[in-house]
Amino acid sequence: MQDAVKNNGKVRTAPDFLNTDFYVNRELSWIYFNQRVLEEALDPDAHPLLERVKFISIFSSNLDEYFMIRVAGIEDQYEAGIHDRTIDGLTPAEQLEKIRIMVLQQLKQRNDCFYKDLQPALKLEGVEFLQFYSLPPDQQESLRHYFRQEIYPVLTPLAFDTGHPFPFMSNLSLNLAIELEDEQTKVLKFARVKVPSILPRLLQLNDIEGFTDDGGGIKLLWLEDLIENNLAQLFPRMRIIKSHLFRLIRDADIEIEEDEAGDLLETIEQGLRSRRYGKVVRLDVSPAMPLSIRKLLMKNLEVTSRNVYEIDGQLGLSCLIDLLRLDRPDLKDEPFVPGNPLDEQFGTDIFSAIRSKDQLLHHPYESFQPVVDFINKAAQDPDVLSIKQTLYRIGSNSPVVQALIKAAEAGKQVAVLVELKARFDEENNIVWARSLEDVGAHVVYGLPGLKTHAKLTMVVRREHLKLKRYLHLGTGNYNPVTGKVYTDYSLFTTNEQLANDISELFNALTGYSKHTSYKKLLVSPINTRTKIIEMIEREISWSLKKGSGRIVMKMNALVDVQTIRALYIASHEGVQIDLIVRGICCLKPGIPGVSENIRVISIIGRFLEHSRAYYFYNGGKEELYLGSADLMPRNLDHRVETIFPVFDKELIGEVKSDLELMLRDNVKAWIMKPDGLFSKIVNDAPKINSQAIFLAKSVLKKNHLKIK
């Protein structure tokens, strides 16, 4: 079907904007993104050594989650005999085939980088990975003693024969498949030993009593290496023929029938337990594993060769993130302390700071501490009557939750929406929900069928015999830890129109309100897509009238077909569109007659680009929205999300300047090509690393405020 596009009152024929050739497969686009993450490790000039190792870990962790959730879902479709094609024209079977080919290539790249580049480079810097068999006898003996004292008691060898059923193996577990022979009967046996996840995967030998080494530096040994070389202690009077590492990944997507759940908290807890038992979607094995052992595992884990991945070296490298704990600051990013402009200008009176004008913080370049201070101050202030807040991912030992607990204990009205369905944060959130309930806070778990992803806090304070509402609206979570490494925006305001909208939204979240008319706030699943597309269409009108249509959008992912189609039409009508998309992007830029006016870049650097910003030139009456929502069906249709306007012209200018700087980045930015692939931006312009510039600016601003 072709679209009819109006041009100065005339109707002309436009391309079929739903042509499969104009779209990138969602799952493959994610793999392209993870490749960009991997490239941060591959580039010898990108980061200090241990930071490059960190990106190996992030790549590996990302890939595990991708299989647990996304690949597991495609496997379900494939096994159900579904042949429906995605917007780009691929069936489930075709997607699985392409994913396997690409992932195997990436795993080889990762391992070549780690073993052939990073390990030798670390050794030159005094950080050495050792192998048990290469150690002198006295050091081996020290490690055998350590094994007996500290590791042996934790291990549980499990036999597999007619009297012993095949042992259960949990998600992400690392295991040893062991071939044995009974020394008396000469009968061959099979056993499994799990490498315990409660112990450090990388042993720092310098800390082990009795291990002496005069060479200096840091010596590391893989835990499974030590276990493999001491299996005789687990199997006396048995001959160890050979042991083989393997690792499995299970489907970890919890399915919840909320309509049938009597208690959502208990249902989530049951789902967490069932996550350990999900079907196996990937089985990692070493190439040396004999076919007989491989077939035994495949049969009992119920997988096919499609699910088996041969990987040289160690399995499961996400644990390498632990190397950042090493006391080697010379091999890490230079630390920095972000400025706290609100504290430096207004001291501890954060309410005065917000009353004076809307305040916008850009994390992590500006401290996340004012967000924590805002909640703490509200909890302590006798004039504060109530606090309402949404919590999605808050981490452990949360100071925000501790402040809310104190507020409830002080008799304030505290209403908290704790999103129990925040994937992989469910256990933390259950703990916090119960802690808040124990002190009398009003705790709700969200709306049936929807995750609440919005980042909102409203504090009601009595001032001069009237009530005043203070708001914090963010693009990121209420988590001070991620606040140091995720780029996000925080807006503090007392704007009455926003306060009215947010009051209505909290009523909808905690009660039975069916309010759907928000004046300033964009709220999913009610009006976000509609409003975004309306603003895109408004830019088309400006482009047709004055040739001045301009859109800049920054997000984590762009998947929604309706929004992409609207952007294609806008490009076709001359609107200049710049998209900063960190991860998945199903839109293809630069297609003649379709998207030649669209440019897509992705920035991968020291910090995770997490903020969402939507800018529209609007004929010179600029509009800017920030918020929690990416342009994906899940964010627009299946979550409670908020995108909020920034009214202050100075703040609009600041964010616009931030976006323009990112668009000039030619160090950490990748540009998307019409085929959906990315390449590093290479030009003759002076080198611009946007994150490094933001860091430098934050230091200058902090020093300037201190001088004042």
In terms of residues, how long is the chain? 708
Q: Show the DSSP H helices in 181-249 as ranges.
A: 223-228
What contacts 527, CB < 8 A, 6 or more positions away? 516, 518
What b-and-e string marks burial along 293-310, b requiring 16 or more CB atoms within 10 Å of the CB?
Answer: bbeebbeebebeeebbbe
Q: Are the beta carbons of 501 and 519 closer than 8 angstroms?
A: yes
- What the block records as the tokens of 107 is 């795993």
- Contact between residue 246 and residue 289 where contact means Cβ atoms under 8 Å apart: yes
Spatial distance between the Cα atoms of 701 and 695, rounded to a whole number of angstroms: 10
Report yes or no: 237 and 183 within 8 Å, Cβ to Cβ: yes
Nearest to 657 by CA among 355, 360, 334, 344: 360
Q: Of the listed 453, 472, 572, 610, which one is catalytic?
A: 453
User: Under a CB-based contact definition with an 8 Å cutoff, are residues 596 and 571 in contact?
Assistant: yes
The single residue listed with the structure tokens 């931006």 is 681
Q: What are phi and psi of 451, to 5 degrees?
A: -85, 140
List residues bridging with 456 in a β-sheet.
473
* Cα dihedral across residues 360, 363, 367, 373: positive or negative: positive
The first and second tokens of residue 335, run together, are 């630390």
Q: What is the 3-state secondary structure (H, E, C) of 450-463?
A: CEECCCEEEEEEEE
Per the omega criterion (within 30 degrees of 0), is the bond before 592 cis?
no
Write out the DSSP string of 459-485.
EEEEETTEEEEEEEEESS-S-TTGGGT
Distance CA 330, CA 125 (A): 10
Q: Are 121 and 53 in contact (CB under 8 A)?
A: no
453 is known as an active-site residue: yes
Q: Are 36 and 604 in contact (CB under 8 A)?
A: yes
- In the chain, % helix, strand, coil (3-state, to 5) comes to 40, 25, 35
Count Cα neighbours of 472 within 13 Å in the Cβ-side half-sphere. Answer: 29
Residue 367 CB burial class (10 angstroms; 0-12, 13-18, ≥19): buried
Please give the positions annotated as active site: 453
